Amino acid sequence: MRVLMVEDEQMLGETVRRGLSNEGFVVEVTHDGVSGLWAATENIYDVILLDVMLPLKNGYEVLKEIRERSIWTPVLMLTAKDGEYDQADAFDLGADDYLTKPFSFLILVARIRALIRRGAPERPAVLSLGSLVLDPARRTVCRGDRAIVLTAREYGLLQYLMRRHDQVVSKAEILDNVWDPAFEGGDNVVEVYIGYLRRKIDIPFNLHTLTTVRGMGYVLTADAASQRT
């Protein structure tokens, strides 16, 4: 398994390289964002380990350009930046995992193997479903050429549904993935927000893409003419 590590701390890079080599991985290490981007676009790897604070080009820029070039190699951000917004930005740009320094080498190896098992499915940074487009990096949503203004909760719900499009998702799954783990309210709140979302992404456009599957949950599909009368 081939691993690219983009890390400006040379001692750390060499330590990880040796450890992963002992685990059977073939590891290439670069020490700045420009070299890392070049390696990621010119060679094939099974996993990329990417620092954020890099010289010449930071890790977010490298990640953004990798995904814009339709390179879907799993990326694990390996960084000292541990803020919630730092992690959210990385995932919005197309990261697959995020591990903060200092880290356990055992956990690093386990996460690399998990990413390899998962493979590299296409994950465009901008989500689109029919005429509906959601840009996580810019936090924007539009239907065709018309912008749609959503609250933070509505946005999170739509993003989750778009990533699971054409699949029926239950209220419990939505609560687990969109609401805070400490939320103690009932699952009826999901039904309320589904209604809010329909009134913004469907009804004004005479569409019926967000539907209820009775007793099972909800499904978001591509544009379909509304059956409302």
- Output the tens digit of pLDDT for each of the chain's 229 residues: 889 999 999 999 999 999 998 888 889 999 999 999 999 998 889 899 999 999 999 999 999 899 888 788 999 998 887 777 788 888 888 888 998 888 899 999 999 998 888 776 666 668 889 999 998 767 789 999 999 999 888 988 998 899 889 999 999 888 877 876 567 778 889 999 999 999 999 999 999 999 999 989 999 999 854 444 3
pLDDT of 40? 93
pLDDT of 225? 46
Q: What share of the chain is helix, strand, coil (3-state, %, to 5)?
A: 40, 20, 40
pLDDT of 228? 40
Q: CA-to-CA distance for 190 and 175, rounded, in angstroms?
A: 7
Q: CA-to-CA distance for 110 and 150, rounded, in angstroms?
A: 38
pLDDT of 184? 72
pLDDT of 227? 42
pLDDT of 179? 78
Q: CA-to-CA distance for 39 and 83, rounded, in angstroms?
A: 28
State how far the alpha carbon of 150 is from the alpha carbons of 147, 192, 211, in Å: 10, 14, 19
pLDDT of 124? 64
pLDDT of 193? 95
Q: CA-to-CA distance for 142 and 139, rounded, in angstroms?
A: 10
With H, G, I as helix, E, B as strand and everything else as coil, classify residue 139: coil
Q: Where are the alpha helices (DSSP H) in 48-170?
A: 59-68, 84-93, 105-118, 152-163
pLDDT of 117? 82
- Tokens describing residue 207: 């569409």
Q: CA-to-CA distance for 167 and 224, rounded, in angstroms?
A: 16
The answer to whether residues 6 and 62 touch, using CB atoms and an 8 Å cutoff, is yes
